Amino acid sequence: MGRPSPSEHAIVRTDHHPLSLRQLQYLVAVAETRSFRRAAELCHVSQPALSAQIAVLENALGVRLLERDRRMVQPTAAGQDILERARHILVQADDLTDAAKRLGDPLSGTLRIGVIPTVSPYLLPEVVPTLRRRLPLLHVQWIEDKTDALVDRLLAGTLDAALLALEARLGDLEQEIIATDPFVLATPRDHPLALGRGPVHLKDLNGVDLLLLEDGHCLRDQALSFCARARTNELDFRATSLPTLVQMVASGAGVTLLPRLALPVEARRSQLKLRRFAPPGPHRTIGLVWRRGTATRTALQAVAATLRDAATRAEPRFEKPI
């Protein structure tokens, strides 16, 4: 090997770093719990020890990071900026540890994958057994939540990936497309639109009462994006889940848009009339997303391939004559 160039010497720090990863973990824990006591419990240390390390960190950086009073602890303006950097450093440290663990076998270990509620009950029963067969050394922990919460947890490093609709605002994340999921129109059996034949056109929705999910569900945003071009009347009631939405439609309260992925479960539960949309109809794109540069990329690509195959095999079940 040749002698290192001067530029290589320039990027290597040999002086002592004034802070540690543990101190950054303590800072983030206090900021998230707003309590030294709860942060100490979370980090499995005594409260005096945690407080002392926070003080050492503040002295080393030369800025006050936290404001303290008898009721609550919160970051200062400078502390908020340091917190964002600390979270990023901790995520990178976790990725470094994961990379070292996976050098022996990248398809082993544990993955924490988030999934949105409008996908999990309809795709995971098909996927989980397939993952176990294909990747027996890989353990996947599934965490269900709404899109914004999953993206926040992914960026914070508490999730390795998320299975969600790619139409949402996701930022600079790497992604693999799993499936395209068209929407269908669901109406009560005695609704005027239930009597029609053939595909539904956008103009057919003029004046109809529309039921949707509550705010925070990306499925709501996707349905609204399509229905905004028609003069629909969105009702005040907003469902917390697809099963609730389906029951409201079945009771005659209005019509809604359902993803094809949910039809084998939800259409079986209720007496609905389902009709396709004329092309180009509304749809969502289901994908697996993760942080760029993550050490789990190889494992996540294998999971994405398995998800895609499972969705493809299950797809004929969604093709009902509607």
CATH topology classification for 180-283: D-Maltodextrin-Binding Protein; domain 2 (3.40.190)
The model's pLDDT over 153-193, given as tens digits with 9 standing for 90+, comes to 998 888 999 999 998 888 889 999 999 999 999 999 889 88
- What CATH number was assigned to the domain covering residues 106-179+285-318? 3.40.190.10
Q: Are 285 and 168 contacting, i.e. CB atoms less than 8 angstroms apart? A: no
Domains 106-179+285-318 and 180-283 share a fold: yes
pLDDT for 15 = 60
The model's pLDDT over 290-308, given as tens digits with 9 standing for 90+, comes to 999 888 899 999 999 999 9
The model's pLDDT over 80-136, given as tens digits with 9 standing for 90+, comes to 888 888 888 888 887 777 766 666 666 878 899 999 999 999 999 889 998 999 999
Q: Which CATH number fits domain 15-100: 2.40.50.140, 3.40.50.11780, 1.10.10.10, 3.20.20.80?
A: 1.10.10.10
Sequence-ordered list of residues with C-beta below 8 angstroms from that of 161, at least 6 positions apart, any chain: 111, 112, 113, 114, 154, 288, 289, 290, 296, 300, 303
Q: Are 43 and 29 contacting, i.e. CB atoms less than 8 angstroms apart? A: yes
Domain map of the chain by residue range?
A: 15-100, 106-179+285-318, 180-283
Q: What is the mean pLDDT of the segment spanning 60-70?
A: 85
* Average pLDDT value for the chain: 84
Q: What is the mean pLDDT of the segment spanning 42-57?
A: 91
302 conformational bin, left if phi > 0, alpha if psi -120 to 50, beta if neither = alpha
Give the separation between CA 209 and CA 199, rounded to whole angstroms.
19
